Amino acid sequence: MTSTLSVLTGNRSFRNLFLAELVVFGADWFVMVPLLVLLPQLTGSGVWGALVLAVDTGVVALLLPYTGTIADRFDRRKIMIAANVAALAGVLLLLGVRAGTAWLALVAIGVVAVAKAFYSPAAQAALPNVLEPHELAAGNAVAGSAWGTMTVVGASLGGVLSTAAGPYACFWVAAVGLALAAGLATRIRRPLQAPRDTDRPAQRTWSAVGEALGYIGHRPRVLALVTVKSAVGLGNGVLTVFPLLAGVYGVGPLGAGLLFAVRGAGALVGPILMRRVLTNRAWLLPGLALSMSLYGLSYLGTSVVRWFPLVLLLVFVAHFAGGSNWVMSNFALQGEVPDRLRGRVFATDMMLATLAISVSQLAVALVVDAVDERVVLAGCGLVTLVYAVGWRIATRRLSLTDPVAEPVPDPAG
């Protein structure tokens, strides 16, 4: 079995792809945590923070059906570079957010979200192309930890730097990081997609989307895997109350940064420890159900404890489960879906997850100024737990150890 260290040191293209993702994810959270603390200070309301999170995920969800098609049709490396440049422009817009221009945060985060909608399916679909077959499990464990690693670094350092130098310094640092990520993407040498049949006419966008949806709809295993992330997504409204919860405990921006950081630490550790599960496909579906349930139970626990260090521990456990859920479902999908459809299927997967997140965050936005923070935490945890039970009942007869079915014939052929 290839080790996580050897796949990083021995595969240059994977290393550059991974480092580029680290920088992108770190910049995202280096911006988001200071912004979520800044907006209530400028406006006196938690609604703006909830709206920023909803725009961040909602725009991505709406664009993913289109951007997944782009990731299957065009050079994924060029898509990633262009997305980094666009995100940099969005981050620079945040420098204009002041007491009378809180709305500019929505515009800026909207631009960043458009960039992420193009970047994410291209990077996810490219991953198996820079890995050898024997490196897939280790590579997925490493790649699955990227988001968690940089949530720890971005959220914690963002909280510290925001306290020491203000949020605008964080926005400048994030802009520099995104420029660096574009440079790293140019250093990926392996092709990021399989060769395409140039004799076939390119499908129209909606025809290509329809092909991917038909593929998913006719394969219960794939359908189960693209709906599994929605459980954690529907509980993601908890992020809106992190800065408010920090205020309840009197720990300020540093405490908010710590909440986001332990969230990232859990998402970092989960994928790494789940590596052994990835090598046994029979464990994946039960593992996915267990991870969803643990996320819900942890936030139910968070809603009743009164000691901040214990809150941090439960948030860690919740996102340990959430990170495990993410990497297990991604790995399983890579084994089920052919390269020519992978960008679109992963885009659909991410669309459903981000739509669930947006629904959760908008629901929290409607009640956050009127309902106790702990009630919000309990509600989000319960929704995830109920979803997990229902998903497991619906998928109990499925197995990922059976041979993968042949793909649907390409209507363009």
The full set of domains in the chain, from first to last, is 8-190+204-395 (1.20.1250.20)
pLDDT-derived band at 409 (thresholds 50, 70, 90) equals very low
Q: What Å distances lie between residue 91 and 7, 25, 69, 115, CA to CA?
A: 32, 13, 26, 11
Question: Rounded to an integer, what distance in angstroms lies between the CA atom of residue 85 and that of residue 387?
Answer: 38
**Once rounded to an integer, what is the mean pLDDT over residues 97-121?**
89
| Helices within 337-372 (DSSP H only) | 339-367
Nearest residue to 232 via CA among 350, 117, 381: 381
Angle between helices 339-367 and 308-336 (to 10 degrees): 150
Query: What kind and span of H or E run contains 270?
Result: helix 252-273
d(CA 156, CA 167): 13
Structure token pair of residue 382: 């319960």
Residues 11 and 398: their CA atoms lie apart, in Å, by: 35
How much is the pTM?
Answer: 0.67
pLDDT band at 197 (very low <50, low <70, confident <90, very high): low
Predicted confidence band of residue 408 (pLDDT cuts 50, 70, 90): very low
Q: Is a pLDDT exceeding 90 seen at residue 314?
A: yes
Whether pLDDT at 198 is above 80: no
Give residue 121's pLDDT.
83
391 vs 60, higher pLDDT: 391
CA–CA separation, 21 and 329 (whole Å): 19
Who contacts 77 (Cβ-Cβ below 8 Å, separation ≥6)? 126, 185, 186, 188, 192
Instruction: Output the six-digit token pair for 309.
Output: 């260090």
Q: Which residue has the higher pLDDT, 35 or 404?
A: 35
- Single out the residue of 179, 176, 229, 249 nearest to residue 360, CA to CA: 229
Q: What is the pLDDT of residues 48-86, one digit of tens each?
A: 887 887 788 778 878 887 887 888 788 888 999 999 999
pLDDT value at residue 357 = 81
CB 364 within 8 A of CB 50: yes
Contact yes or no for 106/336 (Cβ under 8 A): no
What the block records as the tokens of 148 is 């968690």
Integer Cα distance of 370 and 57 in angstroms: 23
d(CA 144, CA 142): 5
